[in-house]
Structure formats: structure tokens, C-alpha cells
Amino acid sequence: MTTNKPRSRGRPRRFDPDAAVVTAQQLFHARGYDAVSVADVTDALGINPPSFYAAFGSKAGLYQRVLDHWTGTAAIPLADILRPDVPVAKALAAMLEEAARRYASDPAAGGCLVLEGTRCNDEGAREAARALNLGAEAFIRDYIAARHPEAADEVADFVSTTMSGLSAKARGGHDLPRLLATARLAGSALAKTLPA
Amino acid sequence: MTTNKPRSRGRPRRFDPDAAVVTAQQLFHARGYDAVSVADVTDALGINPPSFYAAFGSKAGLYQRVLDHWTGTAAIPLADILRPDVPVAKALAAMLEEAARRYASDPAAGGCLVLEGTRCNDEGAREAARALNLGAEAFIRDYIAARHPEAADEVADFVSTTMSGLSAKARGGHDLPRLLATARLAGSALAKTLPA
DNA sequence: GGTATTTTGTAACAGTGACTACAAATAAAC
DNA sequence: GTTTATTTGTAGTCACTGTTACAAAATACC
């Protein structure tokens, strides 16, 4: 159920902020935080700067809302993939493959929105993306540690590094088959390190 | 032997362009191409914009000279590491470890200058870095193909992806032990795929 | 010394970045 | 219909960005 807006007084706004967040997410994902200007966003939305700032406060504020929306819709469902009833190595391999699929799914927006966001030149936006990423990495590490405590740190780093590499390569033009093959090769390395 | 300058007429320049390239390399490596402004460079060199543009033509021109200098001094010596008398898997593992060491060597400038350059927002600089990177990847692929032609593409992609990930993680704060452990884990995966 | 040549410092240029002051416009509440 | 609250469009602000015009300064050649 979408939260009904507590009908306000005054002039009604001529655009839907939630839809605007979706549009902004596409822009940020396709070009990266730095390369998207506020003017790009307002042009895409057909609004003027004051409307933008009334709704989102700042460019970084919009980015926060994009990250929030992304978390609820486009993030890899780690809790579904990293299941307790599956061998850890197998679950992590499935996660890498899923990452490959998502990073290549939109040819106009390669890579992971969050991982790419951790590399931008605005401190606020960068730290917001980093915080999200650190949370995901901690989740992965904890999942490994539950059954392989001695290898958790190393394996978690390896998996995170591979995902960063996959995102970078997706951005650099690698298509689904290449990303998938790379993810599978990385995944096969886990079977040896983490015996079922 | 350093090429002696054909002593010119006119006012002498008050700075050494070669030394300037080294300074610029540090700046670009530490902050990335986009985040370094021409004003940053001229301030660091203690010169004014006209001197800068007389010597380098443009910001992208300086970056080209930085890349050239880097190729001759700071690039991983692939030809020395990828030797014909060593098992391919072993040589690639050594390359990954060397990458980890270099990416972590300067805490103020994490990651690979070129790999990070391939992600900047200036098309000219980005393509220059990409060209350099593609050359290195081709070298690696050819090295693998000489003895493992059927696995060359996949393994080359895996290795390149891992290096991109290592560079990203170095930039993100991973220190030498973590990068090295990740590189070794990735390297161990190669031994299985590429039997000696 | 005079002239040609090159680099210097000063001071801009045009363009773009994120962001905002302000008054007209539009709606609900009274 | 008047008031009150809110968003709108216009037109800016200010701090940068990469880059350059121009004249003074400093050297080599004659």
C-alpha cells in the first residue's frame, strides 16, 4: 500500500518525487554520480532547480534517496542466496553469478550502482555508498564465519574483490558471457578453499 | 643519458617539465584525474597557467606524459614476470601478488594509476588509460594462449578482473596483507584451471 | 647595444558546477 | 472572498573549471 500523502495546502507539486528517484537512479547508474549534474536531473524530470531543491534538498540528498530505493528494489538479495542449507562455497558462487547477471543486465548502466558510487569524488555521496557496501560485506563475512570462521576474512575479501572487479569490467564493456565465465571461475576457487 | 636540451633563445623556463610530470603523476595517482585540477598542478609546481600550457598543451596532454612516464618506470614488468620457463599458473599468481604489493605500496595513492584512469569522466584521458590497459591485457592473454589456448580468454578475463578488484580495494583502504591474501587466493584458483 | 625569441606574471575569458532570492501562481482553510 | 501555505518559473548567485590575451622580463645572437 503506497502511503497516501497527507493532502497539503498550497500549490500542488507537478511531479512525483518517487518517480523522480527512479529516473535519477537510472541516470546515476548509467553515468555515475559525478557525471550527472543537477541540470541533467531537472532536465530529465522537466522541472526547475527550485522544485528539485524543495523536494530533495541537495544532489547528495537525492542520491541518498536513490540508494534507499535501490536497497529495496535492485540490490542483490543476499539473504535469499546465502542460505544456511547450502554449502557456503556453492552459495557464494551463486552470489557471484547473480552479480555478473545484474551487472550486465542493463547495457546502458554497467556495474553496480553502489560499488561505482564508492568511487565518486563527492565525499558525502561516496561515504553513503561505502556504508551500504560495508554492510553488505559484513553480511557476507558473517555468513562465511558461521561455518568457516578461520577462513572468513580472507574469503570475504576475495569475494568482495571479485565483485568489485566484475562491476569494473561490466562498466568497461564486458558482456554477460564474459562476466559469467569470470564469476564461475572465481566461484570454482571457493570450492577448494571451503570444503563442504 | 638524458637528452641535452638544445639550448634555446629567449627567457629560460623556471621549472623542469620532467620533474613536473613526476609531481603530476603523484597527484593523479593519489586523487584521480577528475579530482586534480589544473590549478592544483600549477600550485604544486609553483608556476602559472601559461607556463603549464606552454609545456603540456592541456590537462589531457600532461596526463599522456604521465602515462608515458609511468609505463617506463612504475608499470608492472609483465615481460619479466610472465616467463616462458615458469608454469603459466605460477607466473600469473606471481603477477597478482606483485600487483597487490604495488597497489598497496603508497598509502596515499592506492590502486593502479592506469586502472583508475580508465574510470575517469574525461573521454580523452579515459581512452588513453584504456588503450594502455588493453595492451597489457592482450599481453597477458597471449602469454596464456601460448600454452593454454583453449582457456586463454577465460583465464585472462579472470586475472584482469581480479586486478581491477585489487585496485579498487586498495583505493578503498585494504592494506597489503589483505590484498596479498586475496591475490594468493585468486592465484591458487589458477593452479587448478591451468595444470602445469 | 640592439634585435629576435621565448617564458613569465597578471588578469582575465567563457562555460559549468551546485544552489537560491523572489515574486507570481495555485491550492486548501476559514 | 480573504487568508495562509506551498510550489512554481525566472533569473540569478558564487565558486569553480580548463584555457588564453597580452605585455613585461629575460636570455641568445648579431
Residue ranges of domains in chain A: 17-72, 76-193
Q: How far is the CA of A11 from the C1' of C23 (A)?
A: 14
Average pLDDT, chain B: 95
Tell me what pLDDT residue B8 has: 75
Considering Cα of A133, then A129, then B110, then B66, what sign does the dihedral take? positive
- CA dist A62 and A56 (Å) reads 5
Q: Is the CB of A9 under 7 A from strand D?
A: yes
Distance from CA of A182 to the nearest CA of B (A): 5
Contact A157, B169 (CB under 8 A): yes
Structure-derived torsion over alpha carbons of residues A179, A184, A190, A196, reported in degrees to the nearest 10: 140
Average pLDDT on A121-137 reads 98
Is some CB atom of chain A closer than 8 A to the CB atom of B154?
yes
Considering Cα of A7, then A11, then A12, then A18, what sign does the dihedral take? negative
Q: Is the CB of A11 under 7 A from strand D?
A: yes
Contact B144, B155 (CB under 8 A): yes
* Residue type present at position A32: G
Tell me what pLDDT residue A110 has: 86
Quick one: closest CA in B to A181, which residue?
A: B154
Is the pLDDT at B5 greater than 80? The verdict is no
- pLDDT tens track for A63-91: 999 999 999 999 999 999 999 999 999 99
* Residue type present at position A168: A
- The CA R_g of chain B, rounded to the nearest whole Å, is 19
Structure-derived torsion over alpha carbons of residues B99, B104, B105, B108, reported in degrees to the nearest 10: 140
3-state secondary structure of B1: coil
Is the pLDDT at B142 greater than 80? The verdict is yes
Residue corresponding to grid cell 606552454: B54
Average pLDDT on A26-55 reads 98
DSSP assignment of B107-162, as one string?
TTS-S-HHHHHTT-S-HHHHHHHHHHHHHHHHHHHHHHHHH-TTTHHHHHHHHHHH
- CA dist A107 and A170 (Å) reads 9
Q: How far is the CA of A52 from the C1' of D9 (A)?
A: 13
Tell me the longest C-alpha to C-alpha distance in chain A: 65
Contacts of residue B157 in chain A, CB cutoff 8 Å? 169, 174, 178, 181-182
What's the number of CA atoms in the CB half-sphere (13 Å) around residue A41? Answer: 34
Quick one: closest CA in B to A184, which residue?
A: B158
Closest Cα to residue B93, out of B5, B158, B13?
A: B158
Is the pLDDT at A10 greater than 90? The verdict is no
Contacts of residue B164 in chain A, CB cutoff 8 Å? 164-165, 168-169, 172
DSSP A36: -
Confidence of residue B2 (pLDDT cuts 50, 70, 90): very low
Residue corresponding to grid cell 595517482: B29
CATH architecture classification, B17-72: Orthogonal Bundle (1.10)
- C-alpha distances (whole Å) from B37 to each of B14, B33, B40 are 21, 8, 5
Percent over 70 (pLDDT), chain B = 96
Is some CB atom of chain A closer than 8 A to the CB atom of B99?
no
Is the pLDDT at B28 greater than 80? The verdict is yes
